[in-house]
Amino acid sequence: MQSVHTLGLRDHFLLAMPHLEDSNFAGSLSYLCDHDENGTMGVIVNRPLEITLDALFEQLELDGEESPHRNAPVYFGGPTHKDRGFILHRGSSVPWDSSLQVSDEVALTTSMDILVAPAAGRGPEEFLVCLGCAGWEAGQLEQELKDNAWLTVEAQADILFKVAPEQRLGAAAGILGVDLNLMTREAGHS
């Protein structure tokens, strides 16, 4: 049996267990973009903020009048680097300045060019803009998994881009065939 440390959690969902009380992560669904011996990085994908892309375009002095995405929400991506944008999008042939190809389907871009494009009505059709990210030091997430703070499951891009934010956590739990409302702190102990 593989240990949690060797699973390779990149391109996985991280589902907060119902008893997780940390205000940053309670009820959250995170998408893990990188996981190696140095730690883990991801973004929360089910917490829309009360601002839209239109407000973000205005703040960045981008003309977003032509963007079909103007009313899309901006998400709280996590408590780290809250002033930085992290854009998850379906992979594209357009080379962005600073991108990490997470899977065959999904990339994470942090450069400004990916915001300029949708403001002008170009760029990826399916994307989420997150302010901030979530990070775990080496071994930290593995310990939290052993402590039953989280469940993990291989991610599905359609849950990121086609499911409403308030339904994403339940949809990810559905991949596992579980109802998080029925889970307890003791789940998984033998």
- Residue 74 counted as domain residue: yes
Residue 43: inside a domain, yes or no? yes
Residue 188 located in a structural domain? no
Range of the domain at 58: 4-182
Give the pLDDT confidence of 14-59 residue by residue, as tens digits: 999 998 889 999 999 999 999 999 999 999 999 999 999 999 999 9
Tally of domains in the chain? 1
**Each residue's pLDDT tens digit, 95-107:** 788 999 999 999 9
pTM: 0.90
Cα→Cα distances 47→10, 39, 141, Å:
20, 23, 20
We report the CATH number of the domain holding residue 151 as: 3.40.1740.10
3 state DSSP class of 78: coil
d(CA 90, CA 118): 14
35 inside domain: yes
189 part of a folded domain: no
Q: Are 39 and 140 in contact (CB under 8 A)?
A: yes
Pairing of strands 106-109, 99-101: antiparallel
Domain annotation covers residue 187: no
At residue 5, what is the residue type?
Answer: H
CA dihedral 44, 47, 51, 54 (to 10 degrees): 60
Q: Is residue 190 part of a domain?
A: no
Tokens of 16: 């907060």
